Chains A and B, each alone.
Chain A
Amino acid sequence: MSDLLDLLESPDEQDLRSGVRDMLAAECPWQTVLSFVSEGAEAYDAKLWRTVATGMGLAGLLVPESQGGAGAQWRAAAIVVEELGRAVAPVPFVSSAVVATTALGSSDEPSLLGRLASGELTAALAVPYGLWSAPTLLSVVDGAVTGTVRGVADALGAGLLLVPADDGLYAVDGAAVRRTRVLSLDETRPLADLEFRAAPARLVGSLSAVPCALRAAATMTAAEQIGLASWCLDETVGYLKERYQFGRPVGSFQALKHRLADLWVELTQARAVVAYAAADLAAGAADGRVAASLAKIVGSEVAVRAAEECVQMHGGIGFTWEHPAHLYLKRAKATAVAYGSPDRHRARLATLVDLPLEES
């Protein structure tokens, strides 16, 4: 049945893509991201987030209409995330509008979703960025949570932390938690270590929402990776057309052309896989787990390869801080680790598709 999923973009989806892309071209050129990183003070780019969240109304993309959101499909979210990835935008869209929102999806507290949808509040799921399966559990005693969680993405600026603890998902006010900024590989998406010391916590949902959120996280991260890989490819192609050495554009040398052709093939395939995974999440299809792992594997691989090739083929300039290639390299490698590295997803996939290592 899965083969009948439509992998092409509808006209509405194309409009969404160009709307987000145009906005980012205007509001988030790479120079903006570079100064954000260089200054290193903010949790995220607040001005840009307002435009994304409120101006374009994207914070509530996945929130049901009844709760003030747009009630959109995963496919739409994948498009937005891809464009944000293309711009290495320093905003907590994936963490808040996708992962935390999904984790809250089954919650009894619609008011929280409404606040997330408005963009006034951002939330983060309090799990390590690299987590891919069962969460580390904290404990709750007398309505207060205690323990530490290391390396949580976008938690620094989050007004709300969603904490998987003991028997459920708890909401904790961000201000009630000791948050320490981590000097992380990818400063466009800061990480924080969280220390909960009897922080007041309210039960808002069940733990079963967490694996769903992590699966969505893997798929959407793959969408982000497609975006960043396609920027790297486009940028490199553009540069190689203009850069002359040996009396001709370096892009006319086959040694480079063939590597870029291979990269394009890999990206084309990753695009099909991510389209499949996003459509599959939307359809709630049984193949969703396989699709999410596939997407995370191919997305991670193409993103890292594209970013590494981008640095290499730019030569010396690609190794400088002033050129944006490093922003993409760091984001690529960090997202490859995020929500399960390719190796971990291959291990999961082996079980899902009955290709086990050991005889059971």
Chain B
Amino acid sequence: MAEPITEADLRERISAFLADHDPAGDRLAFLRARFDAGLAWVHFPVGLGGLAAGRALQPVADDAFAAAGAPDNRPSRIGIGLGMAAPTILVHGTDAQRTRFLRPLWTGEEVWCQLFSEPGAGSDLAGLATRARRDGDGWLLDGQKVWTSMAHVARWAILLARTDPDVPKHAGLTFFVLDMTAPGVEVRPLRQLTGEAEFNEVYLTGVRVPDEHRLGDVGAGWKVAQTTLMNERVSIGGGALPREGGMIGVLARAWREQPAVRTPGMHDTVMRLWVRAEAARLTGLRVRQQLAAGAPGPDGSAVKLSFATLNQQISAAELDLRGDEGLRRDSWAMSRPDDVDFTGRDTGYRYLRAKGNSIEGGTSEVLRNIIAERVLGLPAEPRVDTRVAWKDLPR
């Protein structure tokens, strides 16, 4: 076995790379070269953008490139590609799939979206109805997906569909990669309570998917989706941030800049939130260290849950703090952003957008169930749906 990459090795490789590649030169060429040098996801295997290094070294690479003024890989930073599709493809994909998809995913040449939720299947994702039927050497898809973030800019989707309605719901699903430009895929904006349309409805009518774009075995879709969902929970709110990074920094600045609006009660609120935010940040740091040590603990679900709660409490406090000023919005125009902006724009936007944090990527209620049952080992609720064929379930 090769020696693990140390931080010093990594810094050396980055310096050598930067000596050969001009960060101010062609953006895409730079990103592709960075991927090929294994400096994209340093913990991925060699040849797939990584060096098989520890995950803890990723911030070292990201910081060094940022400090050198290197281009970043927006808009794929939306997170679905990087945070969910990539790890799923890495674990369950074939070599051909990994080679085809990972590089343009990382460079941001190809944006990804996640076609999981349906009008009739959200928290109960395994109940979904979109059908995939065998069609020669491929599949034909029919159905409707909903709340699909960034489907309007996505080139590819990860998709879960029903391949067998005659077995219990978890057993009849198969995981696919879908070409969003294929005939029969129709994306319609779905306006959100913020005014913008970051998510969409997606109609699938006789869409053909080649069998090479199946990820994992037929009927094994639920297992593959578990990888996606687990990574989703770690990736939402689990980013490496400095102290006062994220929403709490916005509130702290508002406090410092406006002495006139300070009250003792609000001071108490600000301090309580500051402490919770710092505790959440340190937890994220510890989760990343656990991942790096190869022992992914269950703490990831804590990170997603507290990210949601905190963002909501912090943005609500900020609105109170700013008072009249907080009521002024920058725009109600319907727009179709190509990035999710949790901390940008105005106070009202932050307050409203944060309401999605406890719904997207699994609701806080469902997350609490997961923690209670899988982490704490408490008994499951009595269930009526696990032994019945999907087609016979009440809907």
Contacts of B301 in A (CB 8 A): 265
Q: Are A269 and B378 neighbours in the complex by a CB distance under 8 Å? A: no
CB distance from B260 to the nearest CB of A (A): 9
Residue in A270, A276, A349 with the greatest tally of chain B CB atoms within 10 Å: A276
User: How far is it, in angstroms, between the C-alpha of A275 and the C-alpha of B283 when the chains are bound?
Assistant: 10
Interface size class of B (residues with CB under 8 A): 35 or more
State which of A107-115, A209-217, A244-252 sits at the interface with chain B: A244-252
Q: Is the CB of A248 within 8 A of B373?
A: no
A39 proximal to B (CB < 8 A): no
Q: In the bound complex, what is the Cα–Cα distance between A7 and B289 (angstroms)?
A: 7
Given A269-B279, A273-B278, A346:B289 Cβ within 8 A: no
Stretch at the interface among A30-38, A74-82, A96-104, A351-359: A351-359
In the bound complex, CA of A275 to CA of B271 (Å) = 21
Q: Are B372 and A257 in contact (CB under 8 A)?
A: yes
Q: CB-nearest residue of chain A relative to B280?
A: A269
- Does A8 count as interface, using CB distance less than 8 angstroms? yes
- Are B369 and A254 within 8 A (Cβ)? yes
| Most chain B C-beta atoms within 10 Å of own C-beta, residue among A233, A264, A265 | A265
Given A256, A264, A269, which contacts B375 in the complex, CB threshold below 8 Å?
A: A264
Q: Are B376 and A260 in contact (CB under 8 A)?
A: yes
Shortest CB distance A290–B (Å): 8
Main secondary structure of the interface of A (DSSP, over half): helix
**Contact between A294 and B256, CB atoms less than 8 A apart:** no
What residue of chain B has the Cβ atom nearest to residue A298's Cβ? B279
The answer to whether B271 and A350 have CB atoms under 8 Å apart is: yes
Q: Which of B40-48, B129-137, B261-269 contacts A (4 or more CB under 8 A)?
A: B261-269
B125 contacts A by Cβ under 8 Å: no
Tell whether, in the assembled complex, residue A269 and residue B306 are in contact, meaning their CB atoms are under 8 Å apart: yes
Q: Please report the C-alpha to C-alpha distance between residue A67 and residue B299 in the assembled complex, in whole angstroms.
A: 41
Known interface pairs A261-B368, A269-B302, A298-B279. Does A8 touch B378 (Cβ–Cβ under 8 Å)? no
Do residues A276 and B282 form an inter-chain contact, with CB atoms below 8 A? yes
- B278 near A294 with CB under 8 A, answer yes
- A197 on interface, CB distance cutoff 8 Å: no
* Docked pose: A358 CA to B302 CA in angstroms: 35
Q: How far is the CB of B199 from chain A (nearest CB, A)?
A: 27
Quick check: B271 and A355 within 8 Å, CB to CB?
A: yes
Q: B382 within 8 Å of A by Cβ?
A: yes
Residue of A nearest to B279 (CB): A269
**Contact residues in A for B371 (Cβ distance below 8 Å):** 261, 264-265
A252 touches B379 (CB 8 A): yes
| A246, B285: Cα distance in complex, Å | 42
Check B17 for interface membership: any CB of A closer than 8 A: no
Q: A265-B306, A270-B279, A294-B278 are in contact. Are A359 and B259 (CB under 8 A)?
A: yes
The listed residue (B252, B369, B377) touching A237 by CB distance below 8 A is B377
- State the Cβ distance, A226 to closest chain B Cβ, in Å: 12
Chain B nearest Cβ from A111, distance in angstroms: 40
What is the CA–CA distance of A249 and B376 in the complex, to the nearest angstrom?
14
Indicate whether A241 reaches chain B with its CB closer than 8 angstroms.
yes
Q: Which residues of B contact A240 (CB under 8 A)?
A: 378
Is B290 in the interface zone, CB < 8 Å from A? Answer: yes
Q: Quick check: is A268 within 8 A (CB to CB) of the other chain?
A: yes
- Return the chain A residue nearest B284 by Cβ: A272
Q: Complex formed: what's the CA distance from A268 to B283 in Å?
A: 7
Which residues of A are found within 8 Å of B272, using beta-carbon distances? 346
Report whether A346 and B271 are in contact in the complex, using a CB–CB cutoff of 8 Å. yes
**A248: B residues at CB distance < 8 A:** 379, 382
Select one of B252, B264, B289, B367 contacting A6, CB under 8 A.
B289
CA distance A349 to B367 in the complex (A): 32
The yes or no answer to B381 lying at the interface (CB within 8 A) is yes
Would you give the shortest CB distance from A108 to chain B, in whole angstroms? 38
A214 CB to closest chain B CB, in angstroms?
A: 19
With an 8 A cutoff between CB atoms, is A3 at the interface?
yes
Chain A residues with CB under 8 A of B289:
6-8
Q: Quick one: closest B residue to A349, CB to CB?
A: B271
Please, how many angstroms separate the alpha-carbon atoms of A350 and B267 in the complex? 9
Residues 288-306 of A contacting B (Cβ, < 8 Å): 294, 297-298
- Bound Cα distance A272, B280 (Å): 9
Say if the beta carbon of B193 comes within 8 Å of chain A. Answer: no
Q: Are A269 and B382 in contact (CB under 8 A)?
A: no
Interface set, chain B 368-395, CB cutoff 8 A to A: 368-369, 371-373, 375-382
Closest beta carbon of chain B to A344's beta carbon, Å:
11
In the complex, chain A residues whose CB is within 8 Å of the CB of B365: 258
Counting CB contacts under 8 A, is A142 at the interface? Answer: no
Distance in angstroms between the alpha carbons of A359 and B256 in the assembled complex = 9
A357 touches B282 (CB 8 A): no
Contacting residue for B378 out of A260, A272, A294, CB 8 A: A260
The interface centre, meaning the residue of B299, B365, B382 with most chain A CB atoms within 10 A of its CB, is B299
Contact mask for chain A residues 4-16; partner B; CB cutoff 8 A; 1 contact, 0 none = 0011100000000
| B286 CB–A CB distance under 8 Å | yes
Q: How far is the CA of A262 from the CA of B308 in the complex (A)?
A: 13
**Which chain A residue shows the least CB distance to B373?**
A257
Contact residues of B between 339 and 382, Cβ < 8 Å to A:
365, 367-369, 371-373, 375-382
Query: In the bound complex, what is the Cα–Cα distance between A7 and B290 (angstroms)?
Result: 9
Q: How distant is the Cα of A260 from the Cα of B376 in the complex, in angstroms?
A: 8
Q: How far is the CA of A268 from the CA of B262 in the complex (A)?
A: 32
A276-B282, A346-B272 known; A355+B377 contact, CB < 8 A: no
| Inter-chain contacts of B378 with A (CB < 8 A) | 237, 240-241, 249, 251-252, 256-257, 260
| Known interface pairs A264-B375, A355-B252, A357-B267; A3-B275 also in contact (CB < 8 Å) | no
Residue numbers in A under 8 Å from B290 (CB-CB) = 8
Least CB distance from A310 to B in Å reads: 14
Indicate if the CB atoms of B377 and A241 lie closer than 8 Å: yes
Chain A residues within 8 Å of B380, by CB: 252
CA of A111 to CA of B369, assembled, Å: 56
With a 10 A CB-CB cut-off, give which of B252, B278, B380 has the most chain A CB atoms. B278
Q: Are A260 and B278 in contact (CB under 8 A)?
A: no
Partner of A294, one of B59, B279, B283, B379: B279
Binding site for B on A (CB under 8 A): 3, 6-8, 233, 237, 240-241, 248-249, 251-252, 254, 256-258, 260-262, 264-265, 268-273, 275-276, 294, 297-298, 346-347, 349-350, 353-355, 357-359
Interface pairs A-B: 8 shortest CB-CB? A257-B372, A261-B371, A261-B368, A252-B379, A269-B279, A359-B259, A251-B378, A272-B283
6 more contacts with CB within 8 A, not counting A3-B59, A254-B372, A273-B279, are A241-B379, A257-B369, A264-B375, A268-B299, A272-B285, A275-B286
Could you show 10 A-B contacts with beta carbons less than 8 Å apart? A3-B59, A8-B286, A254-B381, A261-B368, A264-B371, A265-B305, A269-B306, A349-B271, A355-B267, A359-B262
List chain B positions with a Cβ less than 8 A from chain A.
59, 240, 242, 252, 255-256, 259, 262, 264, 267-268, 270-272, 274-276, 278-280, 282-283, 285-286, 289-290, 293, 299, 301-302, 305-306, 365, 367-369, 371-373, 375-382
